[in-house]
Structures are given as structure tokens and as C-alpha cells.
Structure 1
């Protein structure tokens, strides 16, 4: 296909992208992508030329062309030469930052082009972005966001730049007065921390295996102080959640002694947010990361926080879960993850807290407690091994419970016990007899449209379920 023909065809297609019919716009997008399949560099060149020649082209149409460019780049990154890559980078950078105000779809599309090119041409993309990320000047939001996205999409390529990026960013945190920009900085710190942790976990594959946690710890702690001390107190809920999401992965990079020093403030600070936000997932996830970081450094102060942690986490697991809400279901998983960490470190304290609650007068408390017992039997099997008799003896009371929700939860606990060899212990026979008794009961018709749940986890108790001794 002749170069001039590709150029003419691309121009004709992009002239049609202004059609008011969304279907036509989608067809143009598809045609540009198809053209890019056979002639990626020529198609990208035609798109660049069209955008430069039509400065007044409306944002939605510019967005569509940029999305087509991203698709072509992503599919044919290996075929692009450096000249084409640099031209695409300059265009996307200009499209992303020409307007200071936020025009989400348009600027996001340009950012996505830069991230796509950066998977191979990271040095060229970084050179362009860092030219717009200079000390003492608040950057465009999408410059920060693009750096954050790059750190996740190309970990090995981006992490070597992070010490320089962080040293430039830290003074900017004090200059940022608007919650929207603060939230973007939080997102960037979260992504930078996540990519750094991934880099450190894969040093055998990293381009520079000499990189250490200490390289980042001081800067991350300086950022942590701003986020935790000042921004977490914001009245803006979105900013608080952005801070919480950042604090989890950041905690793994704090200097060991600083993390230990901060725990008496950090854990209560996160727990207090459960009362301020109806959606608890982000708090639970961050809390799990903080607990894991604390354990990894051998924290001595974590035990002091244990009573408050257990009470807050248990309250979460006892909340009925809307199975139609992915975040609510994910929250339960993160809460159970926290219980796993605590079960591995403080098994006796955990069981002493949990097992008396099997005698609660509240159905949800009994069901939630059984859910945690089942979970730690599975996830902390080594720690529970010597405590099998104690756990078995604590199940005598639940075996007498007549509540159907509790019965379902008991069956699931027994199933986990069977998988881990509890039923060979004294008292195990009673568990087997309980299962047999439940099989002999006539099934009760469920109300139309009802859902069976155990702390948010659907339990399918068909005829064969009691004999499925898996976890």
C-alpha cells in the first residue's frame, strides 16, 4: 500500500470522525485501527498530522483519534522506530498538557498513548515528562498521573527514575492546595510504592539488582508525614480514601524504626475511618498491608493494638454483605486477610477473642465468628495445629444451634476441619455425626429470591455438599 494512499485514506476517515452519529465515529475508529494493523507508522503519522492541522477539532473527536493511536501503538510497539516513537510522544504530551483545566477523556487518552509508548521507549517518554515536572512548579495533573501509570506498566524501566522523581515531588506536596491535585499525588505515591515493591521482589530479573529499600525509605517517610498528618484530616472523603490507599503500600517502604514509631498512631488512624466511610474496602486493604509490613519488620508494638484491631475487624466480618456489590465482597476478603496475619502472629490471643463469641445471642455474630474460625483453620494451619483440641471443644455449642444460617456456617467449618485432619482428633466423631444428622433433615424451601450467605460468602449446600471435604 503506497504511503500517499494511506495518508489520503486516513485523512478521509478522520474527516468523517466529526459525524454526529456515534456509530459512525466508532466505525471510523475501527477503520483507523484496521489501517494501523497493516501500516502502523504511516497511520500514526497521518493521525499526528491531522491533529496538528486541526487545532480547533473538538475534544471528543481528538479523543477518538488518540484512542486509535494508542491501539495501534499497543499492537505494534515492536515495529515502531525511534523517530516515530518520539513524534508520537511529543504529540501526546502536547495534547495532554495544552489546556491547564482538566478535560478528563481527552487528556486521559493522550496519557494512555504515552504509557503505551513507554512500555518500550521509557527513556524518551521520561525525558519528555520530566521536562514538565520541574522543581518548585506544580505540574499538570496528568503529568503526575502518567508517571504513576508508567511506574505500573513498566516497572523495571520506571523505578530507576523514582529517586529523582520523589526528590522533585516532595516539595510540591506542600504547594498543593487543591484536593484534586493532592489526590493525584496520593495515587502517584501509591503506584510508585507498588512498583518499587514489585521491583524489589524481582531483583533477580531487574536491570539494577543493587537497588535497595533504603534508596526510597527517607523520601517515602517524608511523603508519609504529609499524607498522614495533614491530608488524612481533610473533610473531602475522596482525598481521605486516596490517602488511605497510598498508606498501605507506602508502609512497606518506611524505615523499620519509623514504622514501629508510627504504628501507635497509624493503626488507630485507619480504624477510625471505618466510622466515617460507608464503603470499608480501602480501609481494610490498607490495614492488611500495614499489618503485613509490621510483621515483616518484627514489630514489638503491634500487640498493643491487638484488642482494638480484633474488635474492629470482627465488627466488619459480622456486617451482612450485599453479594451484588463487588467492593463489599472484596472488603470481606481483605478483612479475612487481616485475620490471617493476626492468626499467624497471635494465635492464642485471636482464639481467646473469637471462640467465646460463638455463645453470642446475635445470629450475625455467631455466623461471622464461624466464618473467621473456618478461615484461620485454612490460612493459618500450622499455627492452629497444636490448638485443634481447643477449637474442636469450642464447637460443641454451635452444634446445638437451630438457626439455619449458623448451621450452614458450622457445616463449612467442619468441612475445613476435615481437610486439615481435625476429625481424627477426640471430638471429631461428633462433627461427622452432625453432618449425618443434617443430611437426614428434610430440606426447607427457600423464600423466592432469597440469597444464602455466610458473612458475604455464598454457600451452596446441595445434597453432596456435606461430603465435600475440601476447603
Structure 2
């Protein structure tokens, strides 16, 4: 089928996306995905052009089209030519940042399109996204979401960007005033740390095997210090959990001497969160990560903290299975088995 024919067929389908019947809308999306299976490049081009030409199309319909594009991209990213990729990247970036509303389905759909394209065209996606991530200016929350999800979906290509991203991000933490945006920053730091750890664990397959943990140490410690002293004691429960979720993987990237220095304050602070939250999975998960990091550097602090740790974990286990799982208690407990005990 020729490109003009695919465009005409796609436009005919897309004109029906606003039908009042939700089933018709779903059938349109399904038909678009089926057309994309046969002609991915042409279908994506048609969707991109349609959205550009129909600037007033309401957000829910734009979201459905973007989700169909993501589905096509996920299956056929290697069939995409560079020009189509560039057009889709520009469209998704624009769609993603057109509203300031947080956690909007429309933003998330556009961000997912960028992440899907970024699995192959990482440099092109990063060039566009980093244009919206400038020093001294708070970024759109979706920019942070996109960077975080790109790092998780494609660690090998993304980790080389992270030193400059982290150094740019660090001064932004103090500029964030909304708790919802602070949560997004925490999630980004969590995912950046996890992708760095994945990269370091697979250096034999990495494009640059010379990358080392100390490349990130100073910036990660700067972010850790800010989160610990400014956001961990927030009144907002969601923010506290986002902070502790970030501190877990970040602890593995702290310089050894910094981790040893922080443990006497960090462990009691994390244990104290058990009293503030009914749902404790994330606290226990991060505690396990911190203990593992401490054991890895042969920390001498753990023995001093051992009694408090055992009391807190025993208390959690005693609350029953509604709040604790084997995974919650198991990981910290296993770490404690490695702590040297004196007679």
C-alpha cells in the first residue's frame, strides 16, 4: 500500500476517534494498531500529521492516539526511519509539555512515546528532552518522568548522560516547592540510581567499561544530603515514602566513607518511619538495600545499630501478614546475618 493510501485510511479512522460510543473509540485504536502492524512507519507518520493538523482535538482523544502510537513503536521500533523518528519525537515532546497539570494521562501517553522511541534513537530523544531541562529552571514534571523511565528502559545508552543530568538537577531540588514535584524528583533519583547500578553490574556488556561508581559519588551524595535533611521529615506521607525509596539504591552509590559517616543517622531515621506508615513495604525494601550497602563496605556501624534493627524488624513481623510479607522481612533479616557480632 502506498503512503498516500495509508494516510487517507488512517485519517478516516482518526476522524472517528471522537465518536460518542467508547466501543467505537476502542475499535478505532485497535484498527490503527493493526494498520501499524502492517505499515508502521506510514501509520505513525499519519498519526503525527493528524495531531499536528488538529490542534484543538480534546485531550482524551489525543491520549488514545498517542497510546496507539506507543503500541506500534513498541513492536516495530526497528522499522522506523530516522525522519519519522524525528517527527514523532518533536510531536511527543510538544504534547507532553502543553499542560502544567501533574500526573495527566495525556502527558504520560506522550512521555511513553518518547521512551519507546528512545530505545533505539536515544541521542535524538535526549537532545529534545534536554532542551527542556535547563540549569536554573524547574523542569516540567513530565521531563523528569521521561528521563527516569528512559534510564530504566535503556540503561546502557542513558547512563553516560547521567553525570551531567545529576549535576544540573542538584540545584533544582531547592527550587521545588510543591510536594508532588518533589515526589517526581525522588522517583527520578531512584530510577537513575537503579540504572547506574544495573550498568555497573554488567560492565562486561556495557558500551563504556571504564565507567566507575565514583563518577557519580559527589552528585549522588549531594542529592542524598538534601533529601535526608530537607524532605525525609515532610508531613506528606507520599513524599516521605518517595524519599526513602530513593535513598535505598542511592546508598549503594555513596562513597564508602560517606556511607559509614551517614549510617548512624540514616538507619534510625528509616526505622522511625515504621511508626508513621501503616504500609511498610517500601520502608523495608529500602532498609534492606541500605543494609546490603553497609555490609558491602564492611561497615562497623551496624553492630552498634543491631539491637534497634532487630527490635524494629521483630515488631513488623509481629504485626502479621497484612502489613508484612516474606520479602519485606527477609531481605533486611538476611543482611543482618552478615553483621559481625562480638561475644
Q: Aligned residue for 1:174?
A: 174
Instruction: Report the alpha carbon displacement of residue 101 of structure 1 after superposing the two structures with TM.
Output: 2.6
Give the TM-score of the pair, scaled to structure 1.
0.72
Q: Which residue of 2 aligns with 1:344?
A: 338
Provide the C-alpha distance between the structure 2 equivalents of 1:86 and 1:2, rounded to a whole number of angstroms.
21
> Which residue is equivalent to 2:115?
115
**Using the alignment, how far apart are the partners of 2:112 and 2:266 within structure 1?**
35
Residues 209 and 293 of structure 1: CA distance in aligned 2, closer, same or farther (over 3 Å): same
Change (3 A) 1:103 1:293: closer
C-alpha contact 2:16 2:25 (8 A) present in aligned 1 = yes
Distance 2:233 2:161 in 1: 31
Unpaired stretches in structure 1, ≥5 consecutive residues: 323-327, 350-471
Partner in structure 2 of residue 424 of structure 1: none
In 1, are the aligned partners of 2:303 and 2:339 still within 8 Å (CA)? no
Partners of 1:193 and 1:66 in 2: how far apart? 29
Question: How far has the Cα of 1:2 moved from its partner?
Answer: 2.0
Contact 2:29/2:65 (8 A) holds in 1: yes
The correspondence of residues 404-419 of structure 1 with structure 2, limited to 5 A, is: none
Q: Say if 2:8 is the partner of 1:14.
A: no
In the alignment, is the contact (CA less than 8 A) between 1:97 and 1:107 conserved in 2?
Answer: yes
* Structure 2 CA distance for aligned equivalents of residues 103 and 179 of structure 1: 13
Question: Aligned pair count?
Answer: 343
Give the SS at the match of 1:24: helix
Instruction: Note the C-alpha offset of 1:306.
Output: 0.3
Residue equivalent to 2:222: 222
User: How far apart are residue 190 of structure 1 and its match?
Assistant: 0.1
Shift of 1:337: 1.3
1:340-364 per-residue CA deviation (whole Å, 9 max, x = no partner) reads: 1111334788xxxxxxxxxxxxxxx
Rg larger in structure: 1
Task: Specify the alignment match of 2:3 in structure 1.
Answer: 3
Post-superposition offset of 1:30? 0.4
Paired residues of 2:163 and 2:216 also in contact (CA < 8 A): yes
User: Which residue number in structure 2 is paired with residue 304 of structure 1?
Assistant: 304
Deviation track 1:273-300 (CA, whole Å, cap 9, x = no partner) reads: 0000000101000000000000001101
Residue pair 2:263, 2:301 contacting (<8 A) in 1 also: yes
- Matched with 2:46 is 46
For the aligned residues, what is the CA RMSD? Answer: 1.2
Q: Residues 277, 103 of structure 1: CA spacing in aligned structure 2 closer, same or farther, 3 A cutoff?
A: closer
Alignment of 1:326-345 (within 5 A): 328=323, 331-345=325-339
TM-score, normalised relative to structure 2: 0.98
Q: What residue ranges of structure 2 are gaps of 5+ in the alignment? A: none
1:16-51 deviations in Å (ceiling 9; x for gaps): 010121111111110000000111111011101111
Secondary structure of residue in 2 paired with 1:28: helix
Contact conserved, 1:40 with 1:76, CA < 8 A, in 2? yes
Q: Which fold has the larger relative contact order, with Cα–Cα distance below 8 Å and residues 6 or more apart in sequence?
A: 2
